[in-house]
Amino acid sequence: MINKQALIDRFISYVTIDTESDPKSTTTPSTAKQWDLARLLADQLTAMGMTEVSIDENAYVMATLPATVSHEVPVIGFISHFDTTPDFTGKGVKPQIIKNYDGGDIILNAAQNIVLSPDYFEDLKQYKGQTIITTDGTTLLGADDKAGITEIMEAMQYLLAHPEIPHGKIRVGFTPDEEIGRGAHKFDVQKFGADWAYTMDGSQIGELEYENFNAAGAVVHIEGKIVHPGYAKGKMVNSMYIATDYINSLPRLETPEHTSDREGFFHLHHIDGSVDHTTLEYIIRDHDREHFEARKEMMHALAAELNAQFEKEAVRVEIKDQYFNMREKVAPVMHIVSIAEEAMKALNITPIIKPIRGGTDGSQLSFMGLPCPNIFAGGHNFHGRYEYVPVESMLKAVEVIVKIAELTAKS
């Protein structure tokens, strides 16, 4: 039986450490404060009795749980990231523990009238009677992905305490900078040495994912011409008006707020504009590789049309691929998904197999030679003040890790 209070205490200790990453940084990790949790994890892994514990110059933490069986068993891994998103502050996290949740509104912050309500966040309703950990309304929680780290650590602690449970060699890995798309960039797959792995980085209980978006980032540079407005006729070119034309030429309904499931989108997330120069920053997402390439081509084609209209290069588009759909690499080894599905069913968890509307370290790792489906960590409403995680979901995630280890040893 997993110790509920020990799990809560471990999780709280992790989320109260600020590990926000920084997309503008060129170092790995992108922020020095990520080292605080990385070093703590390495120390704790050593103290609990894990072997081959290492932390490299980029803060990647790895360790081994030795096998308890003598026959040949595939080496499997479990991976989570310790950074939190720069989209919303993770400094000064003050978790609130709601025991025996009554199914109603949760007051996160009375002074600021911040309420977590099941009327708006309907998933809350399924956790009535459970223990829920929330924010105080002023920060994110950090369950993405410190819930995953907690679950892996608790599972390793449990397996060390129960050597009678049969399992092969298990590797664990904790990474920096996943939230800014670099979590796997310097991950040493050969050193990790697993045949396959699972990221514990999904949301609600039961999630099991092996498909994700193909992803790219785009920067659109638009050049204007600044002239004194009193003498501007026929001379001024306002880059912000050209930017408006560009924005409105992309399919308006193919944006995050109008799409779901496998539907792709263009997401304009930042504008910096003046008469002389405007910059638009987009992310491009699509599960289908051909549609993904077509989206990139559309952005270039729109630039060409506007340039033809102005008879000069007023619009320039830079696009950089970020990651691809892991299905391509997981499909040939679908038994690794089947093992996770079997583990959930054995624990009376209904598997929710669906595509990720985003990406994980697993998507990049799969293309680096380490097939890596994604399993639920239990949290909801990531990257904001309404983030929460049911403790019972985390406990179930620990059990899933243990069961996967056991089933792999029997396969």
Question: What is the set of active-site residues?
Answer: 83, 178
Report whether the peptide linkage leading into residue 145 is cis, meaning its omega lies within 30 degrees of zero.
Answer: yes
**Number of Cβ within a 10 Å radius of residue 11:** 25
3 state DSSP class of 382: coil
Amino acid (1-letter code) at residue 43? D
In order of 124, 163, 372, the CA distances from 330 in angstroms are: 32, 31, 7
Cis peptide before 29 (omega within 30 of 0): yes
Q: Name, in order, each residue with C-beta under 8 angstroms of 275's C-beta and a sequence gap of 6 or more.
A: 224, 225, 226, 236, 238, 239, 240
Instruction: Name the 3-class secondary structure at 24.
Output: coil
How many CB atoms neighbour CB 272 within 10 A?
Answer: 10
The residue whose two tokens read 């009376």 is 348
Q: How many CA atoms lie within 13 A of 306 on its CB side?
A: 28
Q: Is 390 exposed, middle or buried (0-12, 13-18, 19+ CB in 10 A)?
A: buried
The crossing angle, in degrees rounded to 10, of helices 143-161 and 391-410 is: 50
Residues in contact with 357: Cβ distance below 8 Å, sequence separation at least 6, in sequence order? 213, 260, 261, 285
Find, among 190, 166, 198, the residue nearest to 65 by Cα. Answer: 166
| Strand duo 170-175 + 61-65: pairing | antiparallel
- Give strand ranges (E) for 147-276: 170-175, 196-202, 207-209, 214-223, 265-273
